[in-house]
Structure 1
């Protein structure tokens, strides 16, 4: 269905005024935008600051999720590093015993080295995770802010191209 005026859109959203546009309905509104006349969509978006607030709220929600992920990740990393340090402390304690043979000492030293390698590998994995998480946040924030522009702007350009082609055909 092609929405040709604001009244049709408000009716479809179940609202009487753009002030009644909740976050839920904002998402529905954005999904309906491809089925709206471009001029009507532009007129509506210009009328309510809620669209800007929606984008801000979306970015804030992404930021909170990002912070929560980083906090949980940081706590996990601290526990892992603390556990490896405890293992090394135990191995060093064993290494300090006087009655160890050469092979036992060699084994304990190799175990200490292995925990250091594992810890270094885990640190590298964590850095890759953080890099990926940051990229996702940037993509999410950009998408949230550009939501209206993508729907409305793309339609304006497409309809502008269509009208140019139509005038050339005439």
Structure 2
């Protein structure tokens, strides 16, 4: 169905005025954009500064959540590395005792090496976690940007092979 004027779009959205456009309806409106006359879509967009606020707020929430996750992860990593250091300090203290035999010395050294391997594995795991978090944040930001592009007529541009001079 091609929407030829604002009244048709409002009716399809079930609203009387653009002020009553809810966040849920914004997504519905964005999905309807390819079916709208380009001039009608642009005229409606000019009347919707709230969408920009909504998109900005969504990106700010995403940023705060990402920062919170990174901070929490950093604290967790600090605790893990501190625990491994403490274990190695205890083992070094035992190694410093004069009355230990070769078997016990070898065992303590092996334990120190094992904690180093475990800490290294934990560090690698954390880097993989951070990589995954970064990818999710990038996907979230990309989705928000894609919504913005669709909202301002990006699909029209893509469907018509580029940007026309009368856009």
> How many Å apart are 1:77 and its aligned residue?
1.0
| Displacement after TM superposition at 1:43 (Å) | 2.1
Calculate the TM-score normalised by the size of structure 2: 0.79
Q: Structure 2: how far apart are the matches of 1:41 and 1:14? A: 17
Q: What SS class does the counterpart of residue 4 from structure 1 fall into? A: coil
C-alpha contact 1:59 1:144 (8 A) present in aligned 2: yes
CA distance in 2, matches of 1:36, 1:115: 63
State the distance in 1 between where 2:12 and 2:79 align.
52
Whether contact under 8 Å (1:33, 1:41) holds in the other structure is yes
What is the CA–CA distance in structure 2 between the aligned matches of 1:26 and 1:12, rounded to whole Å? 12
Return structure 1 stretches of 4+ with deviation > 4 angstroms: none
> Within 5 A, what are the aligned runs for 1:1-170?
1-150=1-150, 152-158=153-159, 160=160
TM-score scaled by length of structure 1: 0.78
Structure 1: gaps of 5 or more residues: 162-170
Aligned to 1:166: none
In structure 2, C-alpha distance between the alignment counterparts of 1:11 and 1:131, rounded to whole Å: 45
Structure with a larger share of its residues in helix: 1
Task: Give the alignment's Cα RMSD to 1 decimal.
Answer: 2.4
Aligned-partner Cα distance in 2 for 1:150–1:8: 19
Shift of 1:76: 1.7
Unaligned runs of 5+ in 2: 162-167
